Amino acid sequence: MAGIVGYGAYIPRKRITAQEIARQWGKDPATIEQGLLLKEKSVPGLDEDTVTIAVAAGRVALQRAGIDPQKVGALYIGSESHPYAVKPSGTIVVEALGIGPRVHVADMEFACKAGTEAMFVALGLVESGRVEYAMGIGADTSQGAPNDALEFSASAGGAAYLFGRADPLAEVLETFSYTTDTPDFWRREGRFYPRHGGRFTGEPAYFKHVLAATRGILEKSGLKPQDFAFAVFHMPNGKFPLAAGKTLGFTKRQLETGWLVPTMGNTYSGSSPTGLAAVLDVAAAGDLILITSFGSGAGSDSFVLKATPRLAERRRLGATVRAMLDGKRRYLTYGQYASYREKIILND
Amino acid sequence: MPSPRYWREVPARFRLEAVRCRGCGKVVYPARRVCPGCRGTDLEPLALSRSGTVVTSTVIHVAPAEFAMETPYAVAIVETPEGARLMAQVVDCELPEVKPGLKVNLEFRLIRQEGHGGILCYGHKAVPEA
Ligand SMILES: [Zn+2]
């Protein structure tokens, strides 16, 4: 059965606290910390982007898989912050990972769902036998407009998944996708920052799709919430994934390992994939894992995975997500943050 | 226009591809066709480890225009376990910690942009070991 043969994640080491952003705009930090359950978020350096995050995560995925990169026949990167408007991020990433040139590469986009979209396609190609190994990556360095609610959450990071049929660390038992036309969040070509429908992003967008995809995969697989050791839902803020999990009948205990958003922020295409990486960092053989992404526009992808005995020995070959979140960090002032995010514009 | 040169250097910049001289054992980075140690021409390819030790370093306070937003920043000569030496910017660090003997990992980063409309040039930078 096809599954994940290697995985890796990367989170930049710079942070800004919700308190510091609130101070800049004269907002009450308590409403952010307690209302949205956001404490701090990762910030990319001037030299970090979707490509560098994808390479860092992809290298660890290859390391954990222990396979020859030349055997990877397809690589897809989902992001809403590809560094070029025209020129695929994937071309740079395969070159850095030592994959190809005999490889199929594409960049994908679907707001925050692009990462699981890349994983879905990579898995399908492996299952069909078209390629031996395929990598799906979700990575982003997302931007929120200054003084917008999104500024408290939009952060940077990502995860890479290598799929194959031999010796998986986790088998993929089932997938399910749910997509409709819902204009909850968008960015028109040439605009700096995205726009969103405020409260409209909740019920008709996030909850409708996350709940429908999760209910769909439970029905298709014949599993119940209590069968799972872990569940990960896309994390636009701290509150939404916990509320979705509760509605579906999952407990806080099943959710907390993959619930990284309070100190990571929303890494968009990297969000639920990085949550899954944190789960794989600790899952035991036989554990069932559920992941449901969400991308505005709107849609959700769900996967049911089962950890194998091989996971414990292979995960040691890379850093854990928790180590990256709780390890060495550098805290920025709003001024430093504005310059790192190129919100301070200079003449040529 | 530097783009063709950057493109030719991709194997060295992206994958740290070097060569080892079969005659005298010297590791040469970036790869060359003639060994600078013994002038031998029998060289085998070798990918450098993505780690190393700072040999010497300096802090740049007055930078070329394209790096002006990054000052002050550290630049170091890093020696890999294979014995190759390369110059790299040191990032995600406190400047006083960048001293000879510092253990670093080499991470894939954006090195420079060819102006606002030009290509993005990637390569490796040194980051202190956690
Ligand atoms: Zn020689």
Q: List average pLDDT for each run of 10 residues in chain A, which is 348 residues long.
A: 97 97 93 92 96 98 98 98 95 98 97 97 98 98 88 96 97 98 84 78 92 98 98 96 97 98 97 98 98 96 98 97 96 93 75
Single pTM value for the model: 0.97
| B67 Cβ under 8 Å from any chain A Cβ | no
**Which one-letter DSSP state was computed for residue B49?**
P
pLDDT for position A224: 98
CATH node for A171-311: 3.40.47.10
**CA–CA dist A99, B70 (Å, integer):** 32
**Chain A with chain B: Cβ pairs closer than 8 A:** 54
**CA–CA dist A147, A75 (Å, integer):** 36
pLDDT for position A145: 85
Indicate the helix (H) or strand (E) that contains B60: strand B51-60
**CA–CA dist A261, A269 (Å, integer):** 13
Task: Give A-chain residues touching B15 at CB under 8 angstroms.
Answer: 95-96, 98
pLDDT for position B66: 84
pLDDT for position A42: 98
**The token pair that represents A278 in the structure block:** 């944190």
Q: Is B113 helix (H, G, I), strand (E, B) or coil?
A: strand
Same topology, domains A3-168+319-340 and A171-311? Answer is: yes
Compute CA distances B13 → A313, B53, B109, whole Å: 32, 18, 10
Which residue of A lies nearest to B114 if distances are taken between CA atoms? A348
How many Cα neighbours within 13 Å face the side chain of A140? 31
The closest of A289, A268, A252, A258 to A158, measured between CA atoms, is A268
Contacts of B83 (CB under 8 A, 6+ apart): B26, B27
**CA–CA dist A317, A324 (Å, integer):** 14
Q: Taking the domains of chain B in order of start, what are their residue ranges?
A: 3-128
State the CATH class of domain B3-128.
mainly beta
pLDDT in tens, B47-93: 999 999 999 999 999 999 888 889 999 999 999 999 999 999 999 99
Compute CA distances A300 → A179, A294, B108, whole Å: 7, 4, 31
**CA–CA dist A61, A57 (Å, integer):** 6
pLDDT for position A202: 85
Q: Is A208 helix (H, G, I), strand (E, B) or coil?
A: helix
The closest of A322, A243, A213, A232 to A275, measured between CA atoms, is A232
CATH node for A3-168+319-340: 3.40.47.10
ipTM for this prediction: 0.95
Compute the radius of gyration of chain A from its Cα atoms.
19
Whether A209 sits among the annotated catalytic residues: the reply is no
Task: Supply angle C-alpha B104, B106, B111, rounded to 5.
Answer: 125
Distance B17 CA to ligand 1 centre (A): 17
Task: Give B-chain residues touching A69 at CB under 8 angstroms.
Answer: none
Could you say which residues from 81 to 140 on chain A have a Cβ atom under 8 Å away from some Cβ of chain B? 83-84, 92, 95-96, 98
**CA–CA dist A218, A291 (Å, integer):** 11
Among B16, B49, B73, B92, pick the best mutation site for testing chain A contact (most A Cβ within 10 A).
B92
Whether A234 sits among the annotated catalytic residues: the reply is yes
Burial class (CB in 10 A: 0-12, 13-18, 19+), B91: buried
Q: Are B63 and B74 in contact (CB under 8 A)?
A: no
Task: Give A-chain residues touching B92 at CB under 8 angstroms.
Answer: 13-14, 45, 328, 330
Q: Do B109 and A83 touch (CB under 8 A)?
A: no
| B125 Cβ under 8 Å from any chain A Cβ | yes
The closest of A116, A115, A118 to A104, measured between CA atoms, is A118
pLDDT at residue B2 is higher than 70? no
Q: What percent of chain B has pLDDT over 90?
A: 85
Which residue of B lies nearest to A45 if distances are taken between CA atoms? B92
| B115 Cβ under 8 Å from any chain A Cβ | yes
How many Å lie between the alpha carbon of A33 and the closest alpha carbon of chain B?
Answer: 27
**CA–CA dist A155, A337 (Å, integer):** 11
How many Cα neighbours within 13 Å face the side chain of A49? 22
**CA–CA dist A317, A41 (Å, integer):** 26
pLDDT for position A332: 96
CA dihedral over B48, B50, B56, B60, signed as positive or negative: positive
**The token pair that represents A180 in the structure block:** 């409709």
Q: Do A45 and B91 touch (CB under 8 A)?
A: yes
Task: Give A-chain residues touching B14 at CB under 8 angstroms.
Answer: 92, 95-96
**CA–CA dist A58, A80 (Å, integer):** 18
Mean pLDDT of B113-120: 88
Which residue of A lies nearest to B12 if distances are taken between CA atoms? A96
Task: Give A-chain residues touching B75 at CB under 8 angstroms.
Answer: none
Whether A342 sits among the annotated catalytic residues: the reply is no
CA dihedral over B65, B70, B71, B73, signed as positive or negative: negative
pLDDT for position A348: 64
Q: Are A267 and A274 in contact (CB under 8 A)?
A: yes
Task: Give A-chain residues touching B125 at CB under 8 angstroms.
Answer: 47
**CA–CA dist B31, B46 (Å, integer):** 9
Q: Are B76 and B55 in contact (CB under 8 A)?
A: yes
Distance B125 CA to ligand 1 centre (A): 28
Catalytic, out of A82, A196, A209, A234 = A234
